[in-house]
Structures are given as structure tokens and as C-alpha cells.
Structure 1
Amino acid sequence: MERPMREADGFVYASLPQLMALEFKARGLSFLARQRLSSILAGNHASRLRGRGLNFEELRRYQPGDDLRHLDWRASLRMGKPFVRAFTEERDRPALILVDQRMAMFFGSTRSFKSVSAAEIGALAAWMVFQAGDRVGGLVFNDSRIDSIAPLRSRTRIQALCARMVEHNQQLSAGNPDTEAEDQLDQALQRALALASHDHLICIVSDFAGAGPRTLQLLRQLARHNDVIAMQVYDPLALQLPDSGRLMITQGELQVELAVERKQVRQPLGDFLSGRLKDVATLLRRSQVPLMMFSTGEDCVQQMRRELGRLSGASR
């Protein structure tokens, strides 16, 4: 029996029109800058000279008929013989957008829930890849299921990916039983590893709850032959608790109301939330993949623009 559609207000529950409309807001945003050195993606695989539409393949001995413009004078002088840089035509690159819709994401204190922010960021990333001329696919996962969409350069494919995000998002509820699988994030990364052997762009949109040593290992494996970006979604409460009032904490069918103005409640809760955020950020940085951080309290498009600028500046 299908569940009835919940009212999609764009903050607690996402809607398909909301995600599809991000196509227009994605214009002007790109994961790749004009020059390689100012790109936030610095993978170890083949260098992409995107301005020329060519990939550098190898340095080899000059052969009659080779384009003299490709002579590598430094290598030629060193070897005492003419060498040229060989290029092949650049192909489009498939992208996988991983979007977390576990129960841990069904929380928000300002503007929107983490689950909705993740859906928005995932859709925005998909549109950015599509507008760059590349194929888009993805994985959407909750606590019990992982759905995959094969990469294809098509608006219909992005619509299918967004529809899957909305479907998973609609299944979240405070009344859901406590059946969270702690290793589901790792399972999703393992699935991505099986799908993306090399030269993929992989964007992982999650709060990274439950991340551990296995997560670190999988991220490093993915980044070995792919460009990987970690997009961590967090709630502002993790940085600063309110000075007064009451905070409702929900975990499945269990609800607890906490008086945050009381020091014996406020301090340990604040320490726990901020400590967890820092621990995850530290783990992600150890994986050596670019880390982008998104607050549920701000517009995702503005944050994407700011984070792209920050990481591009750091890579120069």
C-alpha cells in the first residue's frame, strides 16, 4: 500500500517542482573553474585541459607529421631528442550524486530540515553537472534502502533522480520505528565504489552521522581514481544553542523536551553537538577530499557559491 503524499512545504518535506526549479539557479555555478589550478577538483588521474577540450595522455618521441606546437622543449633538451606531448579528445565525465535521507537527517531547528537541505543540494549539484555537459546519475539512500540512477545526460534522468529524492524524503516521519542501520552510509559508499571505477565526479551529500574508520577507507578508495566532494549538512544548533526556551528532541517514536536555559542541560548538549560536528569534519579532512559545509539555516544556492569560491581560492 502506497503512503499518501505529505504536504511539501519545502522546509520539512521537499517537492519535485522545488528541486527541478534549481536548474535556473545553478546557472553560473561550476565545480570546474576555467583553469585547472583554480579548480576545487584536483584528482590524481588524467589532467583535464578543459579550455582546449583535450586530455594530456603521455610524453613520447616526436614522429614525422606530429604537430610542432606540441613539442616539449624542456623534455627535448633534457633527452637530447625531440619529444611531444600527446593529447586525446576530452570525453564527458559521468557524475554520481549521493543523497542521504536517513532518519538522522529528519531534523531542523532553522529554515529547513537536514533532509530537505540535502535534497536541494543534491539537485543543485546535478543541475551544475548537467549544465557542464556531463552525464548525471546518483544514489539515494535511507536506513534500509539504496536506490541507484545510472548516469545519463538528460533532463529526464535528473527528474528521475529528484523524484527518487522526494520519494525517500516523503517516507521520513517522527513516528518511524527506530531501525537505523549504522553502516548504511558505508553501504552507499561501497555501492558507489562498485559503480564508479574511475574518472567520475562523486558528490556525497550527508550529515555523515555514523562515519568511522570504514567510511574513511571508502572515501580514500573512491578518491584514488575519481574526483570526490564531501558536502556536509549540519544544523545551526550544532554551533550554538539558544539561550533560553525548550528544545524538542525526536528519535523515532520517542520525544524528549529539554530546558536549554539550565546549565546542566545546555553545556553537555552543546558539547555533544559541536563535538560531533568537529569529529565528522576532522574525519572528512583526513580523507583528503574537498569538504563543503552547508547549514540548514541558509539558502543552499548562496552557500554553494560561497563554498565554491572558498575551495577554489584554497587550491591556488
Structure 2
Amino acid sequence: MPAPTPNTGTRVALDELIALSALAHGTSLARRRTAALRSGTSTSRWRGRGVDFRESRIYQAGDEIRHMDWRVTARSGKPHTKLFEEEREQGLLLALDLNPGMRFGTRVRFKSVQAARAAALLAWMAAAAGDRVGALGFGGGIDGEVKPAGGRRGVLQVLRALRDWDSVADTSIQSPLSRALVRVRRLLRPGMRLVLLSDGFSTDAEAALLLPQLAARHEITLVVLRDALEIAPPPPGRYALHLGAARRILDFSDERVRGSWTERFSASRARLLEQARKLGLRTIELDAHADLRRALAPLLARSRHSSVVA
């Protein structure tokens, strides 16, 4: 493969991300209906610190002592605890993998560029539905965050971050998914959803322990990036692969090379996909050259009032 033409599908372009707002017209992100996850601008009872005091009730085993209602307890002669009302925030957090493996592509664009395009489209749709949008970048030496904000201004903050992170990501620095999930856990608020965009190559053993914790409290969607060459080897022949300044020649006339090539890629993706299957996460495998509107169709609803149960 010849070296890619500079900035043609190899770098994230801000004007392209902004233009994707046109694809978001008339759509929003479909939500799962679950008893465990109540999203939107609704309220829920909980035992702990909240926005507004709701009521007192008889103390139950497991209630925190610091939330005891001492006045009611003294008046009634029975232990009471306070309940608070928490406003659940509509919001979307986009976690984008910027590890070296994402800067790869053989058709139209790199996986990193397609991931940024998908994140941008999801951000526009979330904002159109009134959601706040934030982003987190990890891998490639990137440790960036954009706190969730609403409206067009919030989306543009995310898009600029996607462009900036892509421009400075280091192709020599690999970071595990688990490190990103620790940061994700700190940023997510009750009612917020998470979309993780990755090729799965950064999945580590610790991530398998953190994902269930996040999935128990938040709706998670996994977008797994892939390139055509990772699914099937090219026709027999000698090809030059480029990674930054490094260049390597691979002979795909050798059957051993052809056989081991796809096995390595599929094994890396399989770790993350298997974990997602066990947790029942909505998962989309996104080709680097795919049409975004069609590929992300399972996530789209025609209006903010519609819902898809996957």
C-alpha cells in the first residue's frame, strides 16, 4: 500500500465534523427502556445527599447514620432517616480511543477519523434532543476531557477537542482501556449514557472488571472500529505498511502471514466484544469506510420521543 496522501482521510477535519450536523436532522439517540436505568430530566429517590429533601421514613437496615432525621426521631420515638430527591441529568459521554492501532486504514479513511466522525454525529443528535454532551480522549499520550455541556456550543467544544486530540496523538504511546474507564467513572453522572469508540486493541484484564461496574449504573453503547484489511488479508503480494515514520514490508504471498494476520486482529476485538455480550451492551461494529447514517441506524430514532428496545 502506498503511503496515504496527507490529511486525506488520515486526520480529523473540524469542518467535516461540523457538517455532520446535517445528518442529525430529525433523529435522536434511541434509548433502552430498563427498570434499572431512568434517564432524562426525571427524579429518583435515593438514600444520600441530593438536591432537595423529599421526606423522612422509618430507618431501615443499611441506611447511613449521617442521614438520620434526628428531629423526627426525637418526636416520634422511632428512628427515621431522610430521603432526598436527585435530578437525573440527561447527558452523553463519548469516550474515544486514540491509541496507535486506531491510526490505521486502507479504505477511504483511518479508523481514528471514522471514530471522530461517529462521535460527532452522535454528539449532534444528543444535543438536538436536549442532552448535554461531553468527551474523553485516551491513548496516544492523550489525557483530555470535555465536561458535558448543552446546545451547539457544547457540541463545538467536543468537536474541537476531537480535532485537537487527533492532531497531537503519539503513535508510540499505548494506554490500556482500564485507565480510561477509571476516568469515565469519575465523569459520568446519574442518568448519563456512555458511548465507547474503540477498535478493542487496548482492552486489558482490568477493564473486564470495571465495565460491569459501569454497566450496572449507566447505559453503555460500544462502537467497535475496524478496517477491511483487519477482516481479510489483501491479495497475495508484497505490501508496505506505514505507522508514523516506521515502514514495514509484509509478504502476503506467504500463507502463514495470511493466516496469522486476521487471527491477531480478530482476537483483539473478540475480548471486548465478548465482554459486551456478557453484559448485554448494545454493540455496533463500524467499518472505517462505512456510511455513518446507515451503520449507526440501530442507535437512531426519528424523534426524541421515540425509543428502540434492543
Q: TM-score range by the shorter chain?
A: 0.7 to 0.9
Q: For residue 209 of structure 1, report the CA deviation from its aligned partner.
A: 1.4
Q: Which residue of 1 aligns with 2:192?
A: 200
> 3-state DSSP class of the match of 1:129?
helix
Q: Which residue of 2 aligns with 1:117?
A: 114
| Structure 1 pair 271–55 and aligned structure 2 pair: CA distance change class (3 A) | same
| Structure 1 pair 91–45 and aligned structure 2 pair: CA distance change class (3 A) | closer
Cα distance in 2, alignment partners of residues 102 and 42 from structure 1: 33
Q: Which residue of 1 aligns with 2:101?
A: 104
Asked whether the 8 Å contact 1:100–1:141 carries over to 2, the reply is: yes
Q: For residue 113 of structure 1, report the CA deviation from its aligned partner.
A: 0.2
Residues 7-65 of structure 1, C-alpha deviations (whole Å, 9 max, x = no match): 643x1111111001111101233322xxxxxx44647223x6x8xx867879xxxxxxx
Asked whether the 8 Å contact 1:95–1:151 carries over to 2, the reply is: yes
TM-score (norm 2): 0.75
What are structure 2's unaligned runs of at least 5 residues?
A: 47-84, 302-306
Asked whether the 8 Å contact 1:40–1:308 carries over to 2, the reply is: no
The count of aligned residue pairs is 263
Q: For residue 239 of structure 1, report the CA deviation from its aligned partner.
A: 1.6
Residues 44-96 of structure 1, C-alpha deviations (whole Å, 9 max, x = no match): 223x6x8xx867879xxxxxxxxxxxxxxxxxxxxxxxxxxxxx998650211
Residues 100-143 of structure 1, C-alpha deviations (whole Å, 9 max, x = no match): 22212110011110110110011111111101111111112232
TM-score (norm 1): 0.74
| Structure 1 pair 268–167 and aligned structure 2 pair: CA distance change class (3 A) | same
Letter in 2 for 1:118: A
Q: Aligned to 1:180, which of 148, 169, 174?
A: 174
Asked whether the 8 Å contact 1:22–1:123 carries over to 2, the reply is: yes
Within a 5 Å distance, the mapping from 1:162-311 to structure 2 comes to 162-172=159-169, 178-181=172-175, 183=176, 185-305=177-297
Letter in 2 for 1:31: L
Asked whether the 8 Å contact 1:103–1:142 carries over to 2, the reply is: yes
> 3-state DSSP class of the match of 2:136?
strand
Within a 5 Å distance, the mapping from 1:149-160 to structure 2 comes to 149-160=146-157
Between Structure 1 and Structure 2, the one with more strand by share is 2
Instruction: Report which structure shows greater RCO (CA 8 Å, sep ≥6).
Output: 2
Letter in 2 for 1:219: L
Q: Which residue of 2 aligns with 1:61?
A: none
Within a 5 Å distance, the mapping from 1:9-28 to structure 2 comes to 9=8, 11-28=9-26
Q: For residue 206 of structure 1, report the CA deviation from its aligned partner.
A: 1.1
Residues 142-164 of structure 1, C-alpha deviations (whole Å, 9 max, x = no match): 32222111111121221111111
Q: Which residue of 2 aligns with 1:36?
A: none
Cα distance in 1, alignment partners of residues 119 and 171 from structure 2: 26
Cα distance in 2, alignment partners of residues 313 and 31 from structure 1: 9
Identity of aligned residues (%): 24
Asked whether the 8 Å contact 1:40–1:290 carries over to 2, the reply is: no
| Structure 1 pair 242–306 and aligned structure 2 pair: CA distance change class (3 A) | farther
| Structure 1 pair 137–43 and aligned structure 2 pair: CA distance change class (3 A) | farther
Q: For residue 191 of structure 1, report the CA deviation from its aligned partner.
A: 0.8
Asked whether the 8 Å contact 2:89–2:189 carries over to 1, the reply is: no
Q: Aligned to 1:93, which of 90, 94, 101?
A: 90
Asked whether the 8 Å contact 1:141–1:168 carries over to 2, the reply is: no
Q: What is the root-mean-square deviation of aligned Cα atoms in Å?
A: 2.8
Cα distance in 1, alignment partners of residues 137 and 271 from structure 2: 24
| Structure 1 pair 161–313 and aligned structure 2 pair: CA distance change class (3 A) | closer
